[in-house]
Structure 1
Amino acid sequence: MTTDEGLCPTTSEPGELVVDTTQLDMVKQGLAELNIGITKTDPVPAFDLALLTLEHRELGAFGSPVADVGPVLGELRARFAGRCGGWTPFLGKNRKMTSQFGAYPQTQSMSFWDPDHVEQTESIFQGDAGAGVRIGLLDTKIYDHEHLKSVDLRTPDHERFTKPANKLQFNFEEGHGVFAAGLILRQAPRATLVARHALDSDGKASAWDFVKKLAEFLEDSERVSLIVLASGCRTYDGQPPLVLRRAIERLSPHIMIVAAAGNHGAVPGMAPESQITRRSATWPAALPGVVAVSVNEAEYSPDLPWVTTTIAESEPEAFLSTYLKAEKVAMKMPSRTIDFPAGYARWRGTSCAAAYLGGKIAAGMATGRTAAQALKDLQQAGTAQVFSWQLGKS
């Protein structure tokens, strides 16, 4: 059984343990042997998962919180493996995920990943493509934009705001969801986009919070046909976080998952001897059942066998979409602010590729094709290409 010992570059949440709910009782017994108590249980029934918040027990009472779940996780696995012939329960840490724009490890100047303001006055949502198709998006909050009012954009968590409350300055990552939503609907303007907020204002989330939002797509009475995921993480041992693997296993038989492959290709600044390299897998993109999308002939796109599709956009590094219509959007390195008075931007990255392809698939599905058939049509037409990787390539 694949373990979850690898660390996401942005670490994991302290004192939180992910377990399979069908194995919860035996895990509780194991924790009791270690004098570890459970102060909170957060279940996700759709995936048979629960998140446990742990504390050390002292003389039968709750004591201090568990600061590092790693030693607890290791001891539990060792005890179960010793008693059960090597078998261990489904256990893992609560990893953190990040937006794939400017993905870790940073391979170029941070300004390389900054969005560029575009003087766009007319709506980009023209035509009837995508009519009758439901698409899912999991990203940052969707902020209001005058041109998004003409499309069917739904936010079931009611977190669609004009601007953050009591806040004078946006982070550039906060426009990530608005950008991805606009890019999807630009390709399929008559589709219904169901956008859920998982990433925070810095484009980050714990894997658990991310998966809880994914579960809502499976529980919807009207399911989406595909979900666009423009975020992910990488692990030092190259193995997927268990919670993401479980979520994709449950979702992919019912819903196509289109995910960004990451921005860690063969570019200057990547140290080949480091633990996280340009050859590292991005999760969940590298999981079976996921359409992992890269950008054709872009140096930042990973050249790895789990990449399934590249988009054949004529200008792959110049995706144009809706963005925050705001002043003082904060760019981090070098530290500065940029105004976006028109509410449009150009950006680059495999997040753009995933959103672009997701919208194109939805447009093809409006003709009565399944998501898989629509993707195949795009590949045959040359709009998208099947990625070809050969053993022995550098």
Structure 2
Amino acid sequence: MNPEQDNTTAVLDELVVDTHHLGAVRHVLGELHIEDAVKDAIPEFDLTLLTLKHGDTQNPVTDLDPVLTEVRARIAGRSGGWTPLIGKNRKMGNVFGAYPQTKSQAFWNPMPATHDGPWIQGDAGQGVRVGMVDTKIYQHFQLPKTSVHASDHDWFTKDRQGTSYFEEGHGVFVAGLILKTAPGATVVPRAALGPDGKAEAWEVVKKLATFLADKPEDRVHLIVMANGCRTHDGQPPLILERAVERLSPHITVVAAAGNHGGFLGMTSSLVTRNSATWPAALPGVIAAGVPDLPDPDPTTHYSPDLPWVTHIVQPEVDDTFTSTYLASATVTMFKGDPATDLITGYATWRGTSCAAAYLGGLIAAEMPSSGMDAAQALARVVAGPLVDEFAWPRPTA
């Protein structure tokens, strides 16, 4: 694999290791004359992040694939085929603008919208705490701190002003969509994605670990991940797999399935319409897709038609969802599209990120403070008109 190409989806010189296997991995790295240093650790998930340098030159390791192959092979040869838990630090993004995106991005540009009256109406979901890992949330006149329980790191105290890229409003859009369907719930955001809507998977997993580290009485009931990543080999990033494995006994995860279902060829990053989106494709995760659009719309099948997609969420109007957005910013769209003034503080958007946030809110709305769990709530949601269990493959006309 070309190292420059891999730089788009993983950090070149960083290796993630199960902390229990660290000694064995370091021993073999030493045999390969590769020096390592601990960069970070996530104790809740027993993960350690190493940076690697070639010992003879002190240059950073720029292609992890041969290193991973050799470390696994040497340890397997001495351990009856057993291999340690090691992998790359993948890169993630929101699936409106995640790399690699397989369609014209302009289709997913947010568009200005209007809304009359208060945004939060009713008390459905009272007592339910919904976590989300996304961009920072800008202060919005319709989202009070009583509904969004955010630290200073996760919440900007002022409206976004000036020029911004459209991804920067992703967090406030997702939070508003959750509260639109579960107005009595509390959204607990943990900011991991940058203003461009992207992040290293390690930073995302660190934020997921904070939900597990919370006191039991402060824990969220479910987490909305309106973001994801894809891998060249189709295998899940080990740190996301570990995070969901540790979280799932306590917290339900709802994730976006991705917007790549209509792509007929292969992108330069080796992604096809059959590529898995992580963490949506992991066992136990509720993976939210959207229904097909009527032909001859060229974006008919942008939600993937794959067995791991668990639910299809009906969009609100014309395949779009409306939610809160940057309240006082000029937003630069994809590929040099003219900036759009979104001073109203609302936008319509489309994609499976919207579906994940909307479904997370619907589940929360069915979870009264008396203790209904997410599985019971999901069953009630599916019995209604807005969400269907996904049957693979989709029927053809």
User: Scaled by the length of structure 2, what TM-score is found?
Assistant: 0.90
2:349 is matched with which residue?
347
Q: Is residue 2:316 matched to residue 1:300?
A: no
Rounded Cα–Cα distance in structure 2 between residues aligned with 1:345 and 1:143? 14
Counterpart pick for 1:194 among 188, 191, 205: 188
Residue identity opposite 1:266 in structure 2: G
Note the 1:135-284 alignment, pairs <5 A: 135-149=130-144, 151-156=146-151, 158-162=153-157, 168-221=162-215, 222-266=218-262, 270-271=264-265, 275-284=270-279
Per-residue CA distance 1:34-71 (angstroms, 9 max, x = gap): 1222233411111111101122224xxx8233233332
Does 1:366 find its partner at 2:389? no
Q: d(CA) in 1 for partners of 2:262 and 2:307?
A: 15
What is the alpha-carbon distance in structure 2 between the residues aligned to residue 316 and residue 258 of structure 1? 23
Q: How far is 1:291 from its partner?
A: 0.2
> For each residue in 1:77-103, what CA deviation from the matched residue of structure 2 results, as whole angstroms up to 9, or x when unmatched?
121122223221111010101110144
Q: 1:171 Cα shift?
A: 0.9
Decide whether the 8 Å contact of 2:305 with 2:394 is kept in 1: no
Map 1:9-88 onto structure 2 (within 5 A): 10-58=8-56, 63-88=58-83
* Distance of 1:33 and 1:156 partners within structure 2: 45
The structure-2 alpha-carbon separation of the partners of 1:79 and 1:360, relative to structure 1 and needing over 3 Å to count, comes to: same
Query: Equivalent residue for 2:89?
Result: 94
Q: Which residue number corresponds to residue 387 of structure 1?
A: 390
Q: Structure 1 residues 8, 352: CA separation in 2 closer, same or farther (over 3 Å shift)?
A: farther
1:304–1:389 Cα contact (<8 Å) kept: yes
Q: Give 1:240 deviation, angstroms.
A: 0.8
Percent identity reads 55
Q: Which stretch has the larger CA shift, 16-25 or 151-160?
A: 151-160
Name the Cα RMSD after superposition: 2.4
Q: Is the 8 A contact 2:287 2:308 kept in 1?
A: yes
Indicate how the Cα distance of structure 1 residues 164 and 191 shifts in structure 2: closer, same or farther if over 3 A, else same.
closer
Distance 2:89 2:99 in 1: 18
Structure 1 runs (4+) greater than 6 angstroms displaced = 391-394
1:113 aligns with 2:125: no
Instruction: Describe the shift of the 1:65–1:272 C-alpha distance in structure 2 as closer, same or farther (beyond 3 A).
Output: closer
1:330 to 328, 332, 349: 332
3-state secondary structure, aligned to 1:381 = coil
Matched residue type, 1:341? I
Q: Is the 8 A contact 1:294 1:311 kept in 2?
A: yes
Equivalent residue of 2:119, what SS?
A: coil
Q: Which amino acid aligns with 2:181?
A: Q
What TM-score does the superposition give when structure 1 sets the normalisation length? 0.91
2: CA distance, partners of 1:103 / 1:22: 32
The amino acid that maps onto 2:186 is T
The alignment partner of 1:146 has SS state of coil
Alpha-carbon deviation of 1:127?
Answer: 0.7
Q: Deviation at 1:27?
A: 1.2
CA distance in 1, matches of 2:240, 2:342: 35
Greater Cα shift, 319-328 or 350-359:
319-328
Q: Residues 273 and 96 (structure 1 numbering): CA distance in 2 closer, same or farther, change over 3 Å?
A: closer
AA partner of residue 171 (structure 1)? Y
Q: 2:381 aligns with which of 364, 378, 383?
A: 378
Q: Secondary structure at the match of 2:317?
A: coil
Q: Give the match's secondary structure for 1:112.
A: helix
AA at the equivalent of 1:250: R
Q: Secondary structure at the match of 1:152?
A: coil
Contact 2:140 2:159 in 1 (8 A): no
Q: Give CA deviations for 1:334-370 in whole Å, capped at 9, x if unaligned.
A: 4321111111000000000000010111110026321
Compared with structure 1, are the counterparts of its residues 142 and 234 closer, same or farther at alpha carbon in structure 2 (3 Å cutoff)? same
Secondary structure of 2:20 counterpart:
helix
1:146 CA drift (Å): 0.7
Q: Deviations over 1:84-124 (max 9, x none)?
A: 23221111010101110144444432211100001334322
Give the total of aligned pairs.
Answer: 383
**Cα drift, residue 175 of structure 1:** 0.3
Larger CA deviation: 106-115 vs 134-143: 106-115
Contact 2:310 2:390 in 1 (8 A): yes
List alignment gaps of at least 5 residues for structure 1.
1-6
**Which digits, 9 at most, give the CA deviation of each residue in 1:142-172, with x for residues without a partner?**
110111126420223533114599x842110
